[in-house]
Structure 1
């Protein structure tokens, strides 16, 4: 495990870059694509299908045990998974860059859905390996800071994958923008490749079989209080998922340009990044229960604001 602060800095830098790489596709799918699709003339019903490619993030627990165990005990166990997933993301983006934007958001929309699904499959699998790397190498004392690095890196990736990407599409076009994203991901891959992952000690483990997996899944669902936490998490994410995904198409319908939408999203994302940085300080002063319900109330107020804007209109 990483113990000294000086020794932990290369790990923190690597984790920040890896979570940044996961935030890029998430911003592309969740924020940029709805705006680009609406700008291309797709109806809101078709835009709603853009949520389907995010399924790997919800289902990654299915193959997480295999990622954690397959290749364990060998050199660079998780690094090899991470590099393979980054290669997959780069390959998908390279193919997307070669295809006309007009075709992808028109006759080739089904191809776009498949490509976005693969993008999320690779990113979700990378997340499993990256989380495993962080959990293994960070001591309990450093995990709070590690979580801040995770959120901040992911948020920065989302900023570039959403607001900044929309601005770049307006300036550079579809192909040049995607190749810019590919260049950033290759830098992340280089950072991961140069990271020296300590050899994982070999421990006797039962083979990952379907029977073992079903037994572990049953134990997970029997945890006390799990149903309550699932309701809380659903309440947090369902509203955010339904509301945030349609904000960009709404702004397109209100005659905002992609550059203006990107600028607004950039400002909002920077505020979110600052909030992630302040979260740790807030948790030191508030109890978890107060923080949970307090911030849930603030989130509800933000959607009330969007309801007001949708009811009364907004000009570009």
Structure 2
């Protein structure tokens, strides 16, 4: 008989009070996830969202910006080298720091170096160099994610994964404020006064390379937060694996067994689970690539985008993450997954309304609030769901597979977003991304029904 997924374990006999639920966020493991989440969240926008703003301001067309978003596919293929991160020691460093911390430190140092390269390259004349440095950031960042996801999963039991996911998301979103609002604010402060009217200037006229160089160098230095956390953290309890007697046995244990284990545990349900993982965030990911070009084209300044979409919006995401984490602990992950899927798809329709509303900061605040609150709820529940699927013996490889699948199809599709906007306009684009969320609702419903009553607090959502 095929084993069933333990995605929603039975609720404990003693239902925790709200006080007991919230105090878990102050535990050492949760606080470590706060700062490590910051380290994980910092590079993402700098090679995707913030970079798209920078490129649009430098005068690049939307179609090119859309294609360049394929840099993010590095996150979608991290399962390819995840077995190496799971098993391969780094000479000297692993002996000193342990398996997880050594890979974390190496990847963080690589991110810092590649961000410095992005800072010094001018996209107007050195676009190829910018792209190669962005690829290096994405590759090192994906490697950091592999090691960090394993570090998080191995740092606490299943009951605390929702809380760790929430604090991880908090640090992640704080980093996104810094890598989104912070870099725009820094670049704006470093600019010299423009000689043309900002509101009427065409893309490329207002671009100042020196301002972006200063901002990106500060972002590179900000990775020190993660470096210090790794240096002063303890390595989680190591899961001892039997030593390989030869290269073939090592490859089988590192590459084949993690995936075979997942298929063995979930049987036919594995395909349903993988399909859900592959499309759960598709509406948000596809829409997000064109968000910053949209703000530039709507005439919003760096300070407006920084204050509203990056600071205020991320704060709302944090609120959503804590709500999602707490609700997952009390009500079960699958219910919150469904709620997040509904809210994420619906909130994209608000951007279609905003596209026809003109330059209106108040309207932007309302739309960003709704969108980021729903994204926070969905993200916290989804991370807890992915964590519950892994076997601790293969935590890095299996989680990398799941989180890679979450991005692979959406990132590929997002590469065509600029072509769609150029052909159909922003309102049609945002409406189309909302409809991309409809299959997600069906898959969540099917996944919930696939869990037997003994493994789920209720058959009803």
- The corresponding residue for 1:86 is 108
Match of 1:48 among 36, 41, 66: 66
Q: 1:125 aligns with which of 143, 149, 154?
A: 143
Q: Identify which range, 38-47 or 161-170, moves more after superposition.
A: 161-170
Contact 2:84 2:254 in 1 (8 A): no
1:120-179 deviations in Å (ceiling 9; x for gaps) = 111111111112222223233433322222211111111211122212211132222222
Q: Which residue of 2 aligns with 1:154?
A: 172
Q: State the alpha-carbon separation in 1 of the partners of residues 254 and 85 from structure 2.
A: 15
**Deviations for 1:246-280, whole angstroms, at most 9, x for unmatched residues?**
11111111111122112121211110111001112
Cα–Cα, structure 1 residues 312 and 11, in superposed 2: closer, same or farther, change >3 Å?
A: closer
How far 1:233 sits from its partner (Å)?
3.4
1:91 and 1:225 map into 2 onto residues whose CA distance is: 42
Q: Distance in 2 between matches of 1:112 and 1:292?
A: 37
Aligned partners of 1:27 and 1:157 also within 8 Å: no
Change in 2 beyond 3 A, CA 1:211/1:193: closer
Q: Of 313, 319, 328, which aligns to 1:274?
A: 319
**Match of 2:344?**
299
Question: 2:221 corresponds to which residue?
Answer: 183
CA 1:146/1:286 → structure 2, altered by over 3 Å: closer, same or farther? closer
CA deviation after TM superposition for structure 1 residue 94, in Å:
1.8
Aligned to 2:194: none
Unaligned runs of 5+ in 2: 1-22, 191-210, 362-461
Q: What is the correspondence of 1:19-38 to structure 2 with a 5 Å cutoff? A: 19-38=37-56
User: Structure 1 residues 203 and 232 mapped into 2: Cα distance closer, same or farther (>3 Å)?
Assistant: closer
Compared CA separation, residues 217 and 289, structure 1 to 2 (3 A): closer
Taking structure 1 as reference, are residues 300 and 144 closer, same or farther at Cα in structure 2, changes over 3 Å only?
Answer: closer
By how many angstroms is 1:226 displaced?
Answer: 2.9
For normalisation by structure 2, the TM-score amounts to 0.61
Q: Aligned to 1:62, what secondary structure does the other structure show?
A: coil
Contact 1:23 1:158 in 2 (8 A): yes
Distance 2:253 2:108 in 1: 31
For the aligned residue pairs, the C-alpha RMSD in angstroms reads: 2.7
Residue 209 (structure 1) aligned to one of 251, 257, 260: 251
- SS of the aligned residue for 2:281 comes to helix
The 1-side partners of 2:148 and 2:256 are apart by 24
**Alpha-carbon distance between aligned partners in 1 of 2:341 and 2:259, rounded to the nearest angstrom:** 29
Aligned to 2:206: none
* Count of aligned pairs: 307
Q: Which residue of 2 aligns with 1:252?
A: 296
**After superposition, what is the alpha-carbon deviation per residue over 1:177-231, rounded to whole angstroms, capped at 9, x for unaligned?**
2222222212321231122326736531444327962565466467432333333
Q: Matches of 2:349 and 2:242 in 1, distance apart?
A: 54
Whether contact under 8 Å (2:165, 2:325) holds in the other structure is no
Write the distance in 1 (CA, Å) between the matches of 2:316 and 2:281. 19
1:17 to 32, 35, 40: 35
**CA 1:284 to 1:176, structure 2 compared with 1: closer, same or farther past 3 Å?**
same
Distance 2:296 2:257 in 1: 48
Q: Which residue of 2 aligns with 1:310?
A: 355
Identify which of 241, 250, 264 aligns with 2:285: 241
**Pair 1:65–1:98, CA change in 2 (3 A):** same
Range moving further from structure 2, 143-152 or 115-124: 143-152
1:228 to 246, 262, 272: 272
* Cα distance in 2 for residues equivalent to 1:298 and 1:15: 26
Rounded to whole Å, the distance in 2 between the matches of 1:22 and 1:145 is 17
CA contact (8 A) 2:169 2:321 kept: yes
Query: Which of the pair is proportionally richer in helix?
Result: 1
